[in-house]
Amino acid sequence: MRVLLSEDELNQGVSRLADEIDQHYEGRPLTVIAIMTGSLVLFADLIRRLSMPQRVGVIRASSYRGGTTSCDLQVDAGMMIDVTGRDVLLVDDIFDTGKTLERTSEMMKEFGAASVQTAVLLHKQREHLVQVRPNFVAFQIPDEFVVGYGLDYLDMYRNLPYLAVLDPAEIEATAAEVEL
């Protein structure tokens, strides 16, 4: 496993991200929505660094990859809080194809949000499949499959305090291990 961003670098990146978001909203109340499960760790760190009054909610999105490539997107809004007339900030771990943020942003507008902005820890440098781009980005990363700090492979590695690139042998070994 090759470390791409250390715990210290991630901390600094999240603080920069929070500063940018604070500057944008200038203390106005915000409804912050975590896109689960990948944003779990980032979200906990980010909301504690933001200074405005916040309402906090979650929505679940999964690309049903079962591997390292994205396929059909499923969104579960069963735990969503009311966002009618609210300024909403959607938080996700990574902007890859962009489908998750495109779809969840549309949903927030359908739910009646007054405004929708998006924040991600990572922006993968690759061809995106959508027009939208995240409003706040902590790090640009190369087009590699990464795990840690909330990001998973087969729901493993989310607990790593750093961000790492999995090599093909580790991907294979993890798949074998996860299979019960």
Residues tagged active-site: 96
Judged by CB under 5 A, does residue 134 bind Mg ion? no
Report the interhelical angle of 7-25 vs 40-47 (nearest 10°).
60
Alpha carbon 47 to its chain centroid, in Å, reads 13
CB of 25 to ligand IMP, least distance (A): 23
> Could you give the strand order of the β-sheet that contains 146-147, starting from the edge strand earlier in sequence?
2-5, 163-165, 146-147
CB of 27 to ligand IMP, least distance (A): 29
Judged by CB under 5 A, does residue 38 bind Mg ion? yes
> ∠ CA 93-102-31 to the nearest 5 degrees?
65
CB of 129 to ligand IMP, least distance (A): 7
Q: What amino acid is encoded at 9 in this protein?
A: E
Would you tell me how many other CB atoms lie within 10 Å of the CB of residue 29? 11
Segment contacting Mg ion (CB under 5 A): 33-41, 74-82, 83-91, 152-160?
33-41
Segment contacting Mg ion (CB under 5 A): 20-28, 32-40, 73-81, 109-117?
32-40
Residue 95 interacting entry, from ligand IMP, Mg ion, none, C-beta within 5 to 8 Å by type: ligand IMP
Residue numbers at the binding site for ligand IMP (CB under 6 A): 38, 63, 70, 92-100, 145-147, 151-152
CB of 95 to ligand IMP, least distance (A): 5
* Rounded CA Rg of the chain: 16
Q: Are 85 and 99 in contact (CB under 8 A)?
A: no
Q: Which is nearer to ligand IMP, 94 or 116 (CB)?
A: 94
- Two structure tokens written together for 92: 């996700």
Judged by CB under 5 A, the number of residues near Mg ion is 1
Give the footprint of Mg ion on this chain (CB under 5 A): 38
